[in-house]
Amino acid sequence: MRLPPFEPPTLAELRAFWRARDERAVQRLILEIQRQRLTLLELRNLIDCGVQQARAADRTLVERGEPLMTLRIRLAQEVLRVGEIDDTRQISRAEQERLAVRTQEQIEYAREGRLRRQRRNI
């Protein structure tokens, strides 16, 4: 879903909207809510990639209770709480492939670093 440009409401404006309840204010609030939901999806995708990379580098980084996993679980819970989020922004096949290659390169780089650390410790 592509959102039109808009100014996010300030805290003072939110309080005024609550009292006034005018139509334009409600429209801006809806836009702000949808923007935050789209950002929430993006953050969830980023933490999922981060957890995969951390798992490839050092599995102890992603054990239950560790900060990365706590963040991942919290974001997933929030997305579930919100329900359906219209994320119809489609990325091209080329962009998907480029992202997959970049992620694989990052995983390989992390593995190489882990192997170097292990060799140093021997």
Classified as helix, coil or strand, 61 is: helix
List, for residues 14-38, the tens digit of each pLDDT value.
Answer: 788 778 878 888 888 888 888 888 8
Asked whether residue 79 is assigned to any structural domain, the reply reads: yes
Query: 47: pLDDT confidence band, cut at 50, 70 and 90?
Result: very high
* Structural domain contains residue 59: yes
103 is a domain residue: yes
Classify 21 as helix, strand or coil. coil
pTM over 0.85: no
* 7 located within any domain: no
Q: Is residue 93 part of a domain?
A: yes
What digits encode the pLDDT tens for the residues 80-102? 887 877 766 655 666 666 666 66
Name the burial class of residue 121, with classes exposed (0-12), middle (13-18) and buried (19+) by CB atoms within 10 angstroms of its CB.
Answer: exposed
**Structural domain contains residue 30:** no
pLDDT at 46 (0 to 100): 92
Instruction: Tell me how far apart the alpha carbons of residues 106 and 91 are, in angstroms, rounded to a whole number.
Output: 21
From residue 61, how far is each of 23, 40, 100, 101, 114 by CA, in Å? 48, 22, 22, 23, 13
Nearest to residue 34, comparing CAs of 57, 2, 64? Answer: 2
pLDDT confidence of residue 102: 66
The secondary element (H helix, E strand) that includes residue 19 is: helix 11-20
Residue 23, in any domain of the structure: no
Domains in the chain: how many in total? 1
Instruction: Count how many residues are written for the chain.
Output: 122
Within-domain flag for 1: no
Domain holding 110, by residue range, is: 39-121
